[in-house]
Amino acid sequence: MLRSRIIPCLLVRDKGLVKTVNFKNPKYVGDPINAVKIFNEKLVDELIVLDIDASRDRREPDYKMIENLAAECRMPFCYGGGIKTVEQAVRISNLGVEKVALSSSAIEAPELISDIAAAIGRQSVVVVFDVRKTLFGSYDAYLFNGSKKVKGDLLSLIKQAEHLGAGEIVINSIDRDGKMAGYDEKLIRLVRDAIDIPLTILGGAGSLDDIKTVIHEHKIIGVAAGSLFVFKGIYKAVLINYPSVTEKKLLNTFD
């Protein structure tokens, strides 16, 4: 039976694992390799790793870091950050990475989506949209850690990515990032109803109940989280964690 994927999302800066709030003030929380080793033991569904500065700084992906992470991963691995050419995507795929994630490059050069899909397969191309809610209740996409607003309608940009060959869309809520106060249900419904490819939602999870709510409301969907799987308790002590096999089954059980 198909079930929703529950996905830790690790943010990397200068080779270190960090956490942000509203895309600001990155806080160092450890070594990403150690986090991957723990997630291996916990039988994680999938892992997303995003280098948060690579695209903003206009630099190439850190291939050595990616190679080390891919060698350690025992689960499907999606990497994003700094990918601007087909050659880079192919090189990363050849390192053992199952999916490559595009963000700013997918908006600045949309044809790259089609070119990469042709080279490594549509199922391996993920397009990430960093999204912020407007004062009027609509949503805009942003680039470079939320510092530059994208012109154009969000849904039109998402549908364009799907049409060009994206195999999956990730929606990352800037407003909910690191807040651990629940996902943006309105945003999920808006995007889910607009596309026919897999959707993963990120930003806001503070408990397994938040994940359960999304799964039960939207059925088969990717549910990603950062802080929830890195912090523990009201004081946010750093502790890599993930639901047990039994807990995952309960999250995907419907009345």
CB of 90 within 8 A of CB of 120? yes
Instruction: State the Cα–Cα distance between residues 104 and 56, nearest whole angstrom.
Output: 9
- 165: tokens are 């060959």
Dist. CA 15–CA 23, nearest whole Å: 17
What one-character DSSP code corresponds to residue 90?
Answer: H
Distance CA(122)–CA(155), nearest Å, equals 20
- Which is catalytic among the residues 45, 51, 62, 130? 130
The CA R_g of the chain, rounded to the nearest whole Å, is 17
Q: Which burial class, exposed, middle or buried, applies to 166 when counting CB atoms under 10 A from its CB (0-12, 13-18, 19+)?
A: buried
For the chain, where are the alpha helices, taking DSSP H only? Answer: 32-41, 63-72, 86-94, 104-108, 111-120, 154-164, 185-192, 208-218, 227-230, 245-251
Cα 93 to Cα 91: distance, rounded to the nearest angstrom? 5
Residue 222, classified by CB atoms within 10 Å of its CB into exposed (0-12), middle (13-18) or buried (19+), is: buried
Give the tokens for residue 243: 């639901």
Cβ neighbours around 181 below 10 Å, total:
12
Give the position of tokens 């945003």.
Answer: 187
Q: What 3-state DSSP class applies to 7?
A: strand
Whether 177 is a known active-site residue: answer: no
Residues with a catalytic annotation lie at 130
